[in-house]
Each structure stands twice: as C-alpha cells, then as structure tokens.
A and B are shown apart, each in its own frame.
Chain A
Amino acid sequence: MNKPLPARNIGSYVPMIDGPEKVSGRARYTADIVQPGQLAGRIYRSPYSHAEIIGVDVSEALNVPGVISIVTGDDCDRGFGVLPIARTEYPLARGDVGTEQGFAEARITVEHGELAERDTPRPEPAHSLRLDIGEDVGETEHADAGC
C-alpha cells in the first residue's frame, strides 16, 4: 500500500474567513439587509380566537397610500401555518376555516417606507380591512376545530 502523503491542511488551524465580521456584528444576515425600493409585508391578525370567516373586504385597504398588494386566505389553495411565536410568524388561513388565536386573514405588502417609520403614527392599512365573521362555533375538541 502507498505511504500516505502528509496532509497540509487537515488537522491544521484555519481561521474563520468571516470570523471578524461575525464577532463584530458586521456580518449581514437576510433580516439586516435593507434595499432601496424594497417591499415589506405586514400581517393582519384575527381579533377573534375562534370564528367562521364569512368574508374579508380589502377594497378600501388597497387604496391606502403605499399598499402594493393584499393576499387573503382566499388566494391560497389550502391553509397552512406554524405555531406563531415571533412577531413575524403568522400563518394564512383559508376563508372557510375557523381561525384560532394568531391566525391571519390577510398579508399586506407595503412600500418599505411605511415600515421604516414604524414609530411614526400613520394610517394603518389594516384598519381599512373589513372582516365579516359568522357565529362563534366555540369548539372544545381539537378534532372538531378543523384547524
């Protein structure tokens, strides 16, 4: 068998090529990047913990300055979701499925300027959404909740 040649790099110390950036906070991750003209999304949550959505009227919200588009559960083939924990984790629900706490009715895409000045009061596009709901079903069994 051939004698193994000495390895030059295996086992030797190699510094992290992006180490200084990571330890100084200069490393840019996706959420750190702000591009001019980029769009941002806002999620409108259900104010009711369990209810049947009859309809969501987005016509007035579409006319709020800066709003580019609005997506509701009706635009999706099926509902999906994650357990919402962070402020940016909200699933879309179908229009005909009962909602649970934290399920969203609509995703609103706005010009980034709207969000960049989050600390300045501005007309909220979400306030223009009209949500029609039916009688609260009030299911107590998870299997019947249909979520």
Chain B
Amino acid sequence: MARLLECRLNGRDRADAVADNILLLDYLREKTGLTGTKTGCDGGECGACTVLVDDKPMLSCLTLAATVAGKRVDTIESLGEDGQLSAVQRGFHEKLGSQCGYCTPGFIMASAGLLRRNPDPSDAEILEALGGNICRCTGYVKIIEAVKFAIALGKQGVRP
C-alpha cells in the first residue's frame, strides 16, 4: 500500500507518494534523488546512512520513511550556507578526515548532530557520539582532528 509522506527535508516542506514500507534511506536516495546519504552495510552496523531527524542522528537504513512524517530531516546536502562549507565539512576537508569519502557523509551528520546539541564536547563525548560510524580508510585519527577543528570553528561562530 502507499501513503503520502509529508516532511521538512533539508529545510523545505515536501509531500511524496511512497510505499508504506519504504526505508528512509531509499526514500532519500531514490525518491528525492539525494544520493549524498550512502548505503554502506545496509543493516545498521556502519553508520554511512546517518541523517538527522529533528537534529537527532538516525540510521536511515533502519528507519521507515513513514516514521519521519511531520518531522525535520537533514541530510549531508543541507549543510553549509551561501556556498561556504559548514564547520564540520571544513574540518573533514582541511584536516584530511576523508580518504575514499564513502563514510564521510555519515560521520559529518553524526558530528553535526553532536555539535548541534553540545558545541563543546569532551573527547569521550566525541568518541561516544561517533561510535556508530566506522571508517575503513583513515584509522580515525584525522576524523577526530576534523571534529575538534570544527569545534574550534564553532567558537568563532561557524555553524556545525
């Protein structure tokens, strides 16, 4: 069966006819064409599909699209303004937090979710917030540096 899904996606209200059982990940990648959110493990273990639902990091591969009705959904494509990268995006770019880049959108959304609710987290809080994201390339050191760089940018007023 199908339903009309209404949500505020990346700051814009939209309504789409979707199957009842479509996953949020598939809704984003196939229905709305936003392929920035990645299909990694397809089973909730890697975090590549992380998006923000009402500013809370969620695994979109384990979320039914129907559950975001009436909510705000932010994907990687929503970050940055006026052509400028956001603080976390700049961190991953300038501090080499990406190599192949496939895990990067998920890490960035998880980090942005953390900094939206806590602009000055401790090291332990950073590790806990990113515990659901895995990276095969970098070894994580540059990722943590990227997040700390974003925290410093945040203190200068750059949004996560």
Contact = CB atoms under 8 A, between A and B. Distances in A.
Same complex for A and B? Answer yes
Interface stretch (A16-24, A74-82, A94-102, A127-135): A16-24
Judged by DSSP, the binding face of A is loop
Interface residues of A, number: 25
A59 B19 CA distance: 29
Contacts of B17: 119
A85 B45 CA distance: 11
Given A15-B93, A19-B98, A26 B36 contact: yes
Interface string A38-75: 00000000000000000000000000000000000000
26 contacts: A18-B101, A19-B94, A19-B98, A20-B85, A20-B93, A22-B93, A23-B76, A23-B85, A23-B93, A23-B98, A23-B104, A23-B105, A24-B89, A25-B37, A25-B77, A26-B36, A28-B35, A29-B35, A29-B38, A29-B102, A32-B35, A86-B42, A87-B42, A119-B17, A119-B19, A119-B22
A7 interface: no
B75 A25 contact: yes
B34 interface: yes
Given A31-B39, A119-B31, A120-B19, A23 B26 contact: no
Contacts, number: 82
**Chain B interface: which size bin?**
35 or more
Contacts of A32: 29, 35
A9 interface: no
Interface in B66-104: 75-77, 79-80, 85, 88-90, 92-94, 96, 98, 101-102, 104
Interface string A115-142: 0101111000000000000000000000
Given A20-B93, A24-B76, A32-B35, A120 B2 contact: yes
Given A116-B30, A120-B2, A25 B93 contact: no
Contact of B98 (A22, A29, A31, A88): A22
Contact of B42 (A18, A23, A85, A120): A85
Given A19-B94, A119-B31, 11 more contacts: A16-B93, A16-B98, A23-B90, A24-B85, A24-B89, A25-B34, A25-B76, A29-B38, A87-B42, A119-B19, A121-B2
Contacts of B96: 16
Contact of B92 (A23, A26, A88, A120): A23
Interface in B11-40: 17-19, 22, 26, 29-31, 34-39
